[in-house]
Structure 1
């Protein structure tokens, strides 16, 4: 016997074992189920009184004939009933049944009695009824596919025999599953927790059929793409019809097997076109049956599989010269199918007033846009801005936009379309092929084509949103707000990104004119909505009016940025937010306040991208430079916007809180960059720093914290409260780490500028110390005790370090590094200064009742005692040693007297 015949015989025997095991197991279960059903029926019949009370339609037993004899005679007072002849009966009577006992329906065998907790399945039941069935079904599916692959690798039979054998195996499995289903249909019902054995066998056959047809087309070329399309569609339809008989589990198994089949069998010559034909047939069949049967989980599984395949195919195009057209076609077709199934079809014919936002539709539209953008991202390196790439990019915009236009419940698709268009602007290929990829400041290839491709869709999104608002005046406020915001913001965002790609942030009269034209369009739309609103007011029309009026102001601000060199998009968005807030307040459009929040988040993203929003050319004049415009104007704009959109007599919600946070953020950037600009000769990004800069930063943070503590007492805003705590903690960390350790001139030997008392040390250390003490006093009524004590202690530490540095500067001059010799007079001055500072802290602690100040005084005095006894006794000589001890003794006695008379004085007796 030849080797291959031996291998074939072994393979057939193994296949017979694999198939016969589940079949035999199913037959045993069927007989066992019938026996159980008969035993249950017999037990019910044997229970006393149950047969007479059962209804005729459920396990009924015909009533016994009346007995003949004296013992069965009725009582004399009751006349016996006699059956009437058929001719005298006005209508036929029902079969005889007891009238006093209502019919009783028995529960199914698996339903526990009321109040009885069902018993959990044992390990044996789980193993015998679940695990082996699932594993067996998976083994059948994998075996059917791997048998095809093995025959290819080993060269067993010819290609035609392999395909016919695979088809015969698939048909046999499907037929076996159907036979099992019919044989088991009359048995006892299977518990829901048990997997369906006929469905498992049928699923394995479906997977084998998919694999055989795909191999016949992609591996051997027996059939062309048209016939392959028909056969694959028929196989998918067979799987869906079988799922109608066997349940949704079969549909899921068949879907997964069909999606995995190309991976197990292989693909033809590296071409993606067979997959482009095959995968839409699989997912389309799943969508169709999921919609018909109402199995949404099956449809979601089909979309997840299609999305994963799109991502996998996109990875394969990340190389120059790769064929991207079939990959793009696949991504577009799958996205269109998913949008139609999940966004359009479920909401067809839905009234506008009932069109609440559908989270499933929104999620699917967002995910399909991400898949398309991901495919564009990976394929741009292979082809550039070719016709297929541009068409796929426009499809990424058109598919969610069309779904949003057709189904108001999928209104978020319009926002998704705007985001996809912005991604298309950012991903457009660079004019220089050697430029660093995926940066927004790159110049574009073919700027004329670029402007047409991104400009017309932007205006189309605006038109779609406006038409939806005008034609759907009964839309819910949430859907109307989405349409209005998307229609207004999409062209603004696209024009801004296009200006960065082409104008490169410099003065551009062309983009300024385009922004002016966009402002005119938005103004015309606002006027249109105003006329319609006067005729029949509705929330949708009012939101459209507010959104397009705000967009007109934003477009004018953007035009100003494009026309003036050194301008900033941040400035334009901030002014737009202020204008939107004013319109929302004037027209009483509360929903429009969320547009202010959206603009604020856009500005926050711009800050995260590049905090230096003004550019390098700021001017050399301290304070009065472009920083005031780039950061001061947005800070003021968002502060006013927060005030305008705050609802009266209500706790602040998200929109005013976002505006307040941005106002604080811009204020911080303004102060920080102004300090850096003044101390680094106009360079706000200088890598070096100084103790004066660190001191001014600490002083600024403490100033912010103190001002916010005062404002919090008036406004009660959680943003202000959190910011006051954050600025306070930041200032304490900045002072202790930056001033005491990192930039301390005693450690760095940085020169000290100025005179004996008024110098950079006094400004860098003294001013923050006083500010920290003032913060501790102001925060005492409203802030936690740890915060107050930390602020006070930081003030004392900064004051102590600053006082020591001032003394050293007085004796050493500008350079006060630790490597310079310290004289006796300087050592004595330290002792005297520490004692004086301790006395001041003690006096403040007694007058203000501050335990922290008194403890700090004790620490300073203790430090002075240690210095005098450990150092002055041996380090000083002559009168300085004596004066040191005399002074220390006098001060200690005075401190003791103060504690006895004022701190712990005994109560006077009357």
Structure 2
């Protein structure tokens, strides 16, 4: 024991020497600097010229009277003497590497090293067992107080003696920050590791330390606050969590975050507040990830609620006195509320299996209440209502299923635990958000347009989203009269709100009242659409949202409310997200009748609704902006899905989920895509829409790729030997290859003036390839029958037929090229003729015998001579005549 005391004393002495050396050097430099400053000031004073004697002004009584102005002659104009420009102030030289190393990096690294050294010393003393718990805690407190004393001494001795550049780190602040970190760690260890103090005293001690650090930061600047925050957040990781329990952190970390927020609020250090929020969020996720039992999960949930409330209070409260006319949305507050809600939802998801209970439900409610309260109480934080609506929908999705069930691929079509509690939470959230938004709108006639629109969006969309997700979780996308009744009640409530806003607008016209009237009227239409889906078809939220978009567009056009156009765009984004999640917006019970089935309702009605809505919300005389373009794009997308699924429904007996696909189906898909592209190219010439232009390019590229990959390789009957239905002239080949070839050639001709050259050449090339395959497969079908694989024997008449057919096709292309003055068609004709020539010389010469060989060569020769004659007389005749 004596040796241990001796070594401990030796270690303390060494530490004192290490600390006193730099301190002595700093004090010496400070004294030398003071003397140098005084000497420079004295030398400057001695070099100053003697001051000129002041000119005395004559008394007023002795002044001569001013002569009359009319007797004065104008004095000759003397050009002013140009003043010499002062010499430009030389910019201070950039600090050298040595200066940066010696004045900045060493101080920053040294401060961080002191902070971490204090925590590591505590940890080492615990692991080595050199001292007892009491002596360890005494050493920790002594080290912390020593750092604080040295920092204060340095502040008094060094501060104000030399003009220190602003870019240099503050040495007294660094030492004081290390003492603050050590004090945090010592108090936490006294509570969590050794049990010297209880939770009440620990809370008081940590709070007092935070207040003391705030006072010290006022003296030392933000560096102390930043270093102290880093050290305080890292202390639990270095020292330990106190016997493996997460509850001490639930007390400790909010105190640290509150201290950081206090510094930031009092001094305007927003960066410190952001850093504190990031640290609090990271710890919340870490606690959620480590929640292995109910107790740890409850601690993580309580911690994340406290941190979210602190963050929302810190960033929203400074705007509480903002008047209505100046209440523009604050981006920083919105981002903080969104991040806080997202963190709470993440912890809810991480603890749903182990921590579901009263604390989990209250945390889910807090995820909605905290942003909603901030948005209602502080007008620049109006987006909090939208965040609350998103959080309410996410809580419904995250709500745990019944025990024994697992999440499926869609996450939401499952039975739920405590459905009554889920309905109560969803209902209260929806009603509360709608009421808050309505009160702000009806009482805030002077609100800026953006703020009023945000309040309106939150108040109208949150109840609709809550009803939709609750229906999917509880009714599982089936017919539900109860949810249809709930949708009717919601529509009635929205109608009442719209009527109230209309009456108020007639008494005191205001933009906020007009927006509220239009948005709640559109929400009533949306609720009725939802009720219709719940009562009749079930599951097709796409239909409801599309009808709601159409109703909103009609209201925006009728009442001349341009802001409602963005509600249509918002509904369009929801529908796009629904399609991205699951393109099969309707179930498997579609009916057996081709075309006239439930697909027309699931895709046709939304396509028509968004198409009409895009026309209703387009502003006349202006270039189309985002809302009509979004609606137009969704209209095209839904129409494409309708055609795609109708083809599968018709060819697979009503089963759109069939795994196989044949040549006829792929041909119809290519025909549809090429047809879409051709029609859109025509429409673009009339409407000049960016969406139509992009959609025509997209459909064309998809059709080109699908035609080459599927029709040429994947389902080609020559390669698959699958049976081809139909007769000799009218069969699946004509539909799958011939019709797409004609449409592709038509697309190439239509797109010449408005599309890139690569697009035109690709369309023409696809048309030529498909036409060539259509001719070749038709010939083989005529000789082989339904099955025509390459492994089957080819007769001599069939070989001859290929030569004749290809030459005839080439002549047809040549005639078209001459009539239409198309160089592309003439080049394609030349390629076919060359192919026929090679075939005759390489194949027919060896494979044919008798008259067929002679006829093959005779026919080829006649055709080639005729082509040469045509080129001489019609193609190049004008050039020769010239």
Q: 2:299 aligned with 1:326, yes or no? A: yes
The more displaced of 149-158 and 554-563 is 149-158
Q: Is the Cα–Cα contact under 8 Å of residues 22 and 133 in structure 1 kept in the other structure?
A: no
Aligned counterpart in structure 2 of residue 358 of structure 1, from 330, 353, 377? 330
1:253-272 deviation per Cα after TM superposition (whole angstroms, max 9, x unaligned): 11111111111111222222
Task: Please name the residue that 2:342 is paired with.
Answer: 370
Question: How many Å separate the matches in 1 of 2:5 and 2:264?
Answer: 45
Question: How many Å separate the matches in 2 of 1:754 and 1:127?
Answer: 86
The more displaced of 427-436 and 569-578 is 427-436
Question: How many Å separate the matches in 2 of 1:80 and 1:237?
Answer: 61
1:299-336 deviation per Cα after TM superposition (whole angstroms, max 9, x unaligned): 1111111111111111111x344432222111111111
SS at structure 2 position matched to 1:380:
coil
Q: 2:428 aligned with 1:428, yes or no? A: no
Q: Is the Cα–Cα contact under 8 Å of residues 285 and 343 in structure 2 kept in the other structure?
A: yes
**1:605-684 paired onto structure 2 within 5 Å:** 605-684=577-656
Q: Is the Cα–Cα contact under 8 Å of residues 37 and 187 in structure 1 kept in the other structure?
A: no
SS at structure 2 position matched to 1:501:
helix
Aligned counterpart in structure 1 of residue 485 of structure 2, from 513, 524, 536? 513
Distance 1:133-1:22 versus aligned 2 partners, 3 A rule:
farther
Task: Please name the residue that 1:531 is paired with.
Answer: 503
The more displaced of 741-750 and 152-161 is 152-161
Aligned counterpart in structure 2 of residue 522 of structure 1, from 481, 494, 519? 494
SS at structure 1 position matched to 2:655:
coil
Distance 1:81-1:527 versus aligned 2 partners, 3 A rule:
closer
Q: Is the Cα–Cα contact under 8 Å of residues 290 and 296 in structure 2 kept in the other structure?
A: no
Q: Is the Cα–Cα contact under 8 Å of residues 22 and 136 in structure 1 kept in the other structure?
A: no
Aligned counterpart in structure 2 of residue 168 of structure 1, from 118, 126, 142? 142
Question: How many Å separate the matches in 2 of 1:159 and 1:292?
Answer: 38
Aligned counterpart in structure 2 of residue 809 of structure 1, from 767, 771, 781? 781
1:233-285 deviation per Cα after TM superposition (whole angstroms, max 9, x unaligned): 11111111111111111111111111111111112222222111111211112
Aligned counterpart in structure 2 of residue 406 of structure 1, from 377, 395, 415? 377
Question: How many Å separate the matches in 2 of 1:517 and 1:25?
Answer: 79
Q: Is the Cα–Cα contact under 8 Å of residues 572 and 634 in structure 2 kept in the other structure?
A: yes
Q: Once the 2 structures are TM-superposed, how far is the Cα of residue 115 of structure 1 from its aligned partner?
A: 4.7
Question: How many Å separate the matches in 1 of 2:529 and 2:25?
Answer: 76
Q: Is the Cα–Cα contact under 8 Å of residues 401 and 416 in structure 2 kept in the other structure?
A: yes
Q: Is the Cα–Cα contact under 8 Å of residues 515 and 563 in structure 2 kept in the other structure?
A: yes
Q: Once the 2 structures are TM-superposed, how far is the Cα of residue 427 of structure 1 from its aligned partner?
A: 1.1
Distance 1:651-1:128 versus aligned 2 partners, 3 A rule:
same
Task: Please name the residue that 1:44 is paired with.
Answer: 44
Question: How many Å separate the matches in 2 of 1:21 and 1:741?
Answer: 82
Task: Please name the residue that 1:416 is paired with.
Answer: 387
Where do 5+ consecutive residues of structure 2 fail to align? 60-85
**1:841-852 paired onto structure 2 within 5 Å:** 841-852=813-824
Distance 1:566-1:391 versus aligned 2 partners, 3 A rule:
closer
1:745-788 deviation per Cα after TM superposition (whole angstroms, max 9, x unaligned): 01001111111110000110000000001101111111112211
SS at structure 2 position matched to 1:200:
helix
Aligned counterpart in structure 2 of residue 126 of structure 1, from 87, 93, 100? 100
Q: Once the 2 structures are TM-superposed, how far is the Cα of residue 289 of structure 1 from its aligned partner?
A: 2.1
Q: 2:174 aligned with 1:203, yes or no? A: no
Task: Please name the residue that 1:251 is paired with.
Answer: 225
Q: Once the 2 structures are TM-superposed, how far is the Cα of residue 909 of structure 1 from its aligned partner?
A: 6.1
Distance 1:81-1:449 versus aligned 2 partners, 3 A rule:
closer
Q: Is the Cα–Cα contact under 8 Å of residues 320 and 379 in structure 2 kept in the other structure?
A: no
Aligned residues: 855
Q: 2:454 aligned with 1:482, yes or no? A: yes
Q: 2:241 aligned with 1:267, yes or no? A: yes
Task: Please name the residue that 1:27 is paired with.
Answer: 27
Q: Is the Cα–Cα contact under 8 Å of residues 247 and 296 in structure 2 kept in the other structure?
A: no
Task: Please name the residue that 2:319 is paired with.
Answer: 347
Aligned counterpart in structure 1 of residue 858 of structure 2, from 873, 878, 886? 886
Task: Please name the residue that 1:335 is paired with.
Answer: 308
1:816-858 deviation per Cα after TM superposition (whole angstroms, max 9, x unaligned): 0111000111111111111111111111112222221111111
Task: Please name the residue that 1:231 is paired with.
Answer: 205
Q: Once the 2 structures are TM-superposed, how far is the Cα of residue 298 of structure 1 from its aligned partner?
A: 1.1
Task: Please name the residue that 2:576 is paired with.
Answer: 604
Question: How many Å separate the matches in 1 of 2:36 and 2:742?
Answer: 90
Task: Please name the residue that 2:265 is paired with.
Answer: 291
1:330-357 deviation per Cα after TM superposition (whole angstroms, max 9, x unaligned): 11111111111101x2212111010000
Q: Once the 2 structures are TM-superposed, how far is the Cα of residue 181 of structure 1 from its aligned partner?
A: 1.1
Q: Is the Cα–Cα contact under 8 Å of residues 36 and 188 in structure 1 kept in the other structure?
A: no
Aligned counterpart in structure 2 of residue 188 of structure 1, from 151, 158, 162? 162
Q: TM-score, normalised by structure 1?
A: 0.92
Q: Once the 2 structures are TM-superposed, how far is the Cα of residue 13 of structure 1 from its aligned partner?
A: 4.4
Q: Once the 2 structures are TM-superposed, how far is the Cα of residue 113 of structure 1 from its aligned partner?
A: 7.7
Distance 1:456-1:841 versus aligned 2 partners, 3 A rule:
same
Q: CA-atom RMSD, angstroms? A: 2.0
Question: How many Å separate the matches in 2 of 1:420 and 1:236?
Answer: 32
Aligned counterpart in structure 1 of residue 767 of structure 2, from 795, 813, 818? 795
SS at structure 1 position matched to 2:354:
helix
Q: TM-score, normalised by structure 2?
A: 0.94
Task: Please name the residue that 1:445 is paired with.
Answer: 417
Q: Once the 2 structures are TM-superposed, how far is the Cα of residue 22 of structure 1 from its aligned partner?
A: 3.6
Q: Once the 2 structures are TM-superposed, how far is the Cα of residue 45 of structure 1 from its aligned partner?
A: 3.0
Distance 1:240-1:114 versus aligned 2 partners, 3 A rule:
farther
Where do 5+ consecutive residues of structure 1 fail to align? 54-62, 67-77, 83-111
Question: How many Å separate the matches in 1 of 2:665 and 2:530?
Answer: 35
Q: Once the 2 structures are TM-superposed, how far is the Cα of residue 81 of structure 1 from its aligned partner?
A: 12
Question: How many Å separate the matches in 1 of 2:274 and 2:555?
Answer: 42
Q: Is the Cα–Cα contact under 8 Å of residues 566 and 617 in structure 1 kept in the other structure?
A: no
Task: Please name the residue that 2:64 is paired with.
Answer: none
The more displaced of 15-24 and 753-762 is 15-24
Question: How many Å separate the matches in 2 of 1:168 and 1:320?
Answer: 38
Question: How many Å separate the matches in 2 of 1:862 and 1:47?
Answer: 101
Task: Please name the residue that 1:60 is paired with.
Answer: none
The more displaced of 556-565 and 580-589 is 556-565
Distance 1:907-1:125 versus aligned 2 partners, 3 A rule:
closer
Distance 1:801-1:46 versus aligned 2 partners, 3 A rule:
farther
The more displaced of 321-330 and 819-828 is 321-330
Distance 1:373-1:79 versus aligned 2 partners, 3 A rule:
closer
Question: How many Å separate the matches in 2 of 1:527 and 1:611?
Answer: 37
Q: Is the Cα–Cα contact under 8 Å of residues 585 and 644 in structure 1 kept in the other structure?
A: yes
Q: Once the 2 structures are TM-superposed, how far is the Cα of residue 48 of structure 1 from its aligned partner?
A: 5.2
Question: How many Å separate the matches in 1 of 2:38 and 2:666?
Answer: 91
Task: Please name the residue that 1:150 is paired with.
Answer: 124
Task: Please name the residue that 1:312 is paired with.
Answer: 286
Question: How many Å separate the matches in 2 of 1:751 and 1:582?
Answer: 52
Q: 2:426 aligned with 1:454, yes or no? A: yes
Task: Please name the residue that 2:682 is paired with.
Answer: 710
The more displaced of 182-191 and 433-442 is 433-442
Distance 1:907-1:261 versus aligned 2 partners, 3 A rule:
closer
Distance 1:79-1:27 versus aligned 2 partners, 3 A rule:
closer
**1:705-744 paired onto structure 2 within 5 Å:** 705-744=677-716
Q: Once the 2 structures are TM-superposed, how far is the Cα of residue 649 of structure 1 from its aligned partner?
A: 1.0
Q: Once the 2 structures are TM-superposed, how far is the Cα of residue 225 of structure 1 from its aligned partner?
A: 1.2
Question: How many Å separate the matches in 2 of 1:614 and 1:395?
Answer: 35
Question: How many Å separate the matches in 1 of 2:776 and 2:405?
Answer: 58
Question: How many Å separate the matches in 1 of 2:418 and 2:318?
Answer: 41
Question: How many Å separate the matches in 2 of 1:716 and 1:701?
Answer: 20
Aligned counterpart in structure 2 of residue 214 of structure 1, from 188, 193, 203? 188
